[in-house]
Amino acid sequence: MTADRETPVTPVLDVCDLSVRFRMRGGRDIAAVTDARFSVAPGECLALVGESGCGKSVLASALLGLLPANAETTGSAVLGGDTDLLTAGERALARTVRGRRIGLVPQSPAAHLTPVRTVRAQLEETLRELTGVRGAAVREAAGEAAARASFPADHLDRYPHELSGGLAQRAATALALIGDAPLLLADEPTTGLDRDLVERTVDELRRHTDEGRALLIITHDLAAAERIADRVAVMYAGRIVEISEAAPFFGTPGPRHPYAKGLLDALPERDFAPIPGMPPELGTLPDGCAFAARCTRADARCTDERPAFEDALACHHGLTGRAHSLTKAAADA
C-alpha cells in the first residue's frame, strides 16, 4: 500500500519574475526591481535584506499597488493562490487586500497615521472596521492591540505629532497587527527603536508568524533578521542575488554570494569591514554582474555576463556548494 503524500502547502505569497521599471523623462528607464522570485509560506518569516536604495521598498510598494504612475510592472505576485496583486485593480486592493489580507508596517509611519486623530481613536476605528468589535469592548481591545506592539498605554490619547519616531513606529505596528492578516509586510519595522524595543518588536512579529501567518520583513538590521527569519533573501541593485535558510546563512557555512558575505562581515560584532566602493545607479546598470566592480572574485565573465538566478543564487563564483531553496516547503522536503 502506497503511503499518502502530504498535500502541498499553498504559499501565502508567490512572487515570480517581478520587475519594476520607472519611465523617466527623456526616455530613460530605471530598473528598480528585476526578476524577483520567491515565496512565503504560512508560518514562515522571509527577511529581505540589502543596502539602502537596492529596491526593497519598491518591491513592497509593488505588492501593495502603491507605485507612482510612471512605474511599469511585469511578472506576477499571487496572494493566497487566487489574487495576482500586480493585476488586481485599485478598488479590489483597497477593499479586500490592504489591511485585511495584507497588514502593513510602513517604513514612514508618520505618513500612515492620521494627524488629526489620537492613536486610540485610530486603533478603535481599525478594530471596528476589521474585526467588528463594538461598544465598550473596543476600548479594551485597543489597549490590547497597543500592548502587542509595546506602545505605552499612557500615550494612547496623544496625536501623531506628539510622538517620537520610535513611538510612531510602534503605533503603526499595532495598527498592522489588528485583524491578523494572513500576510504581514513589515518595511523597516525597527526604525527608530533602541535594541530592547527592536527585540520586543520582532519577537511579537515572530509570534504573529508562529500562529500560522506569513511575514515578509524588509530590513537593513541583520541582527533583527537573524532573530526572526526562517529564510533570508539578499537584494543588490534591484535583483535578489541569494535566498538561503537563515541558520546556515548567519552561521556555518555562511552566505554563498560575495555581497551577502560582505554584508555580514561589515557588522561590528564580526569583522567590521565595509564593502569597498558604491552600488551602481539603477538607471545605468552594467551588462554583467552589478556587484563585479566591488567583488574580489570577479573575472572577465562577471564583467561581461549577468549571472542567472539558479539554485537560489545569482553568482558565477558561489562561495560554497551547499544547496538552498526558493521555498520553505522545498527546504523541509
pLDDT tens digits, 114-150: 999 999 999 999 999 998 888 889 999 999 999 998 8
Check residue 7 and give its pLDDT. Answer: 63
Structurally, the chain folds into a number of domains equal to 2
Angle between helices 137-148 and 119-131 (to 10 degrees): 110
Q: Which three cell numbers stand for residue 241?
A: 542575488
CA-derived radius of gyration, the chain: 21
Q: Which residue range(s) make up the domain with 264? A: 13-101+181-332
Q: If pLDDT is split at 50, 70 and 90, which confidence band does 320 have?
A: low
19 inside domain: yes
203 inside domain: yes
Q: How far apart are CA 308 and CA 247, in angstroms?
A: 25
Q: Which residue has the cell 520583513?
A: 217
Q: Which residue has the cell 487566487?
A: 82
Of 92-106, 192-206, 283-297, the poorest mean pLDDT is in 192-206
Q: Is the pLDDT of residue 42 over 70?
A: yes
pTM for the whole structure: 0.89
Q: How far apart are CA 64 and CA 85, in angstroms?
A: 7
Determine contact, residues 243/310, Cβ cutoff 8 Å: no
Alpha-carbon torsion, ordered 124, 129, 133, 135, to 10 deg: 60
Q: How far apart are CA 110 and CA 113, in angstroms?
A: 5
Q: How far apart are CA 295 and CA 277, in angstroms?
A: 9
The domain boundary residue, chosen from 133, 160, 179: 179
Q: Are residues 163 and 115 in the same domain?
A: yes
208 inside domain: yes
- Planar angle of CA 220, 177, 212, nearest 5 degrees: 90
Q: Are residues 169 and 185 in the same domain?
A: no
Q: Is the pLDDT of residue 80 over 90?
A: yes
4 inside domain: no
Q: Are residues 161 and 197 in the same domain?
A: no
Q: Which three cell numbers stand for residue 240?
A: 535578489
The domain boundary residue, chosen from 120, 144, 179: 179
Q: Which three cell numbers stand for residue 64?
A: 501593495
2 inside domain: no
158 inside domain: yes
Q: Is the pLDDT of residue 216 over 50?
A: yes
Q: Which residue has the cell 511578472?
A: 75
Name the β-bridge partners of 14.
39, 78
Sheet arrangement for strand 13-23 = 29-40, 13-23, 71-79, 83-84
E-strand ranges in the chain read 13-23, 29-40, 45-49, 71-79, 83-84, 102-105, 183-187, 214-219, 231-236, 239-245
127 inside domain: yes
Q: Are residues 116 and 62 in the same domain?
A: no
Q: Which amino acid is at 57?
A: S
Q: Are residues 84 and 212 in the same domain?
A: yes
The domain boundary residue, chosen from 127, 149, 179: 179
Q: Which amino acid is at 175?
A: L
Q: Are residues 298 and 175 in the same domain?
A: no
Q: How far apart are CA 38 and CA 330, in angstroms?
A: 12
Q: Are residues 232 and 132 in the same domain?
A: no
46 inside domain: yes
Percentage above 90 pLDDT, the chain: 75
The CATH number of the domain where 37 resides is what? 3.40.50.300
Q: Are residues 34 and 157 in the same domain?
A: no
Q: Are residues 74 and 198 in the same domain?
A: yes
Check residue 331 and give its pLDDT. Answer: 47
Q: How far apart are CA 302 and CA 200, in angstroms?
A: 42
